[in-house]
Amino acid sequence: MLKIITKYKSAFRQASPCTTYICLLFLVLLLAGCQLKEVPFTKVEVVISLPDDALQAGKAGYVVKLTNIATGHWQTLTSDSTGVLLITAEEGVYNVEVSGQKTLTTTVANGGAQQTYTQTVDIRGLLEKSLVTGGQMSITVPMQIAQKGNGFVIQEIYFTGSLTPANGSYYQDQYIEIYNNSDSVLYADGLSVVESNHLSNVAVSEYTNYPNDLIVGALYTIPGTGQTYPVQPGGSIVIASLGINHKTSNLNSPVDLSKANFEWYDSGKDVDVPEVPNMIRNFCYSNTIWVLHVKGYHAYAIFKAPGTYADFLSQNTVSVQTASGSSVTRIRVPNALILDGVELGAAGTIGSKSLSSSIDVSYTFCDGSYIGKSVRRKVLSRVNGRAILQDTNNSGKDFISNAIPKPWEVE
């Protein structure tokens, strides 16, 4: 064996420069192959930016979640009162989600006084596909109070009516507009509009025995078999008191409702426009016709009964006392069924609310009656041209007061 080794040594001594070069080349290749380009990390400063109406909640207690969209791996941290978090993350593209549940206090003018309401809300922020790179960087996440209504919402209520040229009262041009705030087709069949029995100018609610219900005095329902009346995403339906062009009946009226989708019709005592489908009058306190309170003392809501309305009415008809002390029959609508609700009130006259704060924590209003103005929901954002209306269950923030009525329009 030694002899062989000696011969090998001799052979290598005689090796040509070419052989030496090849041996060195092997060595370089070998070393080059072992180097790893390590996963780079970046220190990310996540800054929580609250909207003005949520500043009172403070910046502590928000959960910040960074999710790498390629790997799906995520990490979470909870913010302190500074609202600034330092997170070390691998370089990549991330979704940054921030969320927290807070109790907010809303103060609404009530004449010279202030009315205060509290509400538990979700405050969220999302930055999608943020590039995390460069070793150190800062990301500011704008937060907003979370949307509640991702289906049907009340877009507009025109309740004030208008004056005729002769200064007469004209309330026949009232309407309620309902909007599909989702990204899919919804069906209006079976959707009901209700009016609270309670008046917001009454100091104390008569219905404290029904904390989880809305006691209503009017309940009108859109007919249909389930898929008769589709509403496209970003589309709306206008429910009129009377489906005509009111501009011809009253030169001061701001609306033409001749193309209204439905009208509420009170059989025998109301004017029926045959071109406009009628809603089903399931219940109404009025023995004649139903008119929206032109001062806006009621709350309005939309809901769908889980079964037939005959069953719903038989199970939810209750006897309640009015503010004057008399006993009347009304309908109880569980809050859990309500899709959306808007509390109306005349500024300076708010006594107590009809709607639970889980449906509407405050109220919206117009500055008078017969002024040809409405309350209309604000546009939060637009996705591919479709408007998403703001719904944080706080009508004092979500609605434009004293808006010019514009049925079928969003702005």
> Which residues are at the interface with another protein (CB under 8 A)?
4, 7-8, 11, 19, 22-23, 25-26, 29-30, 33-34, 36-40, 68-73, 90-93, 129, 131, 133, 384
Q: Which is nearer to another protein, 14 or 324 (CB)?
A: 14
- Minimum gap (Å) between residue 155 Cβ and another protein: 26
Question: Cα(first)–Cα(last) distance of the chain, in Å?
Answer: 95
Query: What is the maximum span of the chain, computed from C-alpha positions, in angstroms?
Result: 129
Give DSSP secondary structure letters for 298-332: SEEEEEE-SS-HHHHHHHHEEEEE-TTS-EEEEEE
Q: Which is nearer to another protein, 131 or 251 (CB)?
A: 131
Q: What share of the chain is helix, strand, coil (3-state, %, to 5)?
A: 15, 40, 45
- Minimum gap (Å) between residue 5 Cβ and another protein: 10
Instruction: Give the residue from 147, 148, 145, 149 showing the smallest Cα distance to 57.
Output: 145
Q: Which is nearer to another protein, 89 or 344 (CB)?
A: 89
Give residue 404's region: left, alpha or beta (phi > 0; psi -120 to 50): beta
> Whose structure tokens read 């009530």?
110
Do residues 281 and 266 touch, judged by C-beta distance below 8 A?
Answer: yes
- Minimum gap (Å) between residue 87 Cβ and another protein: 14
Q: What gap in Å lies between CA 221 and CA 313, rounded to an integer?
A: 12
- Minimum gap (Å) between residue 90 Cβ and another protein: 5
Give DSSP secondary structure letters for 212-270: TEEEEEEEEE---SSSSSEE-TT-EEEEESS-SBHHHH-TT---B-TT-SEE---TTTS
Q: Which is nearer to another protein, 26 or 308 (CB)?
A: 26
- Minimum gap (Å) between residue 37 Cβ and another protein: 5
Q: Which is nearer to another protein, 70 or 336 (CB)?
A: 70
- Minimum gap (Å) between residue 6 Cβ and another protein: 11
Q: Which is nearer to another protein, 92 or 234 (CB)?
A: 92
- Minimum gap (Å) between residue 16 Cβ and another protein: 10
Q: Which is nearer to another protein, 69 or 109 (CB)?
A: 69
